[in-house]
Amino acid sequence: MTIAAQKITPCLWFDTQAEDAAKFYASVFKSSKVGKISRYGKEGFEIHGKQAGTVMTVEFEVAGQKFLALNGGPQFKFNEAVSFQVHCETQEEIDYFWSKLADGGEEGPCGWLKDKFGLSWQVIPTVLLQLLTDEGSAQRVMRSMLQMRKIDIAALKRAQAA
């Protein structure tokens, strides 16, 4: 896996959990893998403060999207301003990704959650955009969705049909 082959690569900043996070994400999504791992050397210790031999970066790929995880220290934390959407065709997919990604994290409203590393995700059905753009039922669908944590496709469709 060569990170440079992709024009834009998201870099996720962790304190010390880059390798654990990469392995976790690769275990949750099919067609995923952990790639090269680079380690801090003695050079630059006075700037980065990391012990020689500890993990600096981890290349990984999730469902065809390449990422870089960096152990940069505790200075920066994830917040909801950036999230990753997981588009799901079925309720079974929603249930799977919701349970895996929310495990050890925090469930939020309307399909949002934070994983155990603090990264925000939206686990949403692919049919949601269609349901929210149907002029006759969009408001009912929105009202229904606003009451949910994990998205329930059947409940959204019932709101559309009401």
Which domains are assigned to the chain? 3-71 (3.30.720.100), 83-161 (3.10.180.10)
Whether residue 49 contacts residue 73, with contact meaning beta carbons closer than 8 Å, is answered with yes
Look at residue 1 and tell me whether its pLDDT is greater than 60.
no
The two tokens of residue 48 are 């980065």
Pick from 137, 73, 78: which is nearest to 113 by CA?
78
Query: Tens digit of pLDDT for each residue in 137-160?
Result: 999 999 999 999 999 999 999 999
If you search the block for the tokens 């496709």, which residue do you land on? 153
Edge to edge, the sheet with strand 83-88 lists 83-88, 120-125, 112-114, 106-107
Q: What is the pTM of this model?
A: 0.90
Name the burial class of residue 43, with classes exposed (0-12), middle (13-18) and buried (19+) by CB atoms within 10 angstroms of its CB.
exposed
pLDDT digits (tens, 9 = 90+) for 44-76: 888 888 899 999 999 999 999 999 999 999 999
Q: What residue type is assigned to position 128 of the chain?
A: L
**71 near 55, Cβ under 8 Å?**
yes
* Cα(126)–Cα(142) distance, integer angstroms: 15
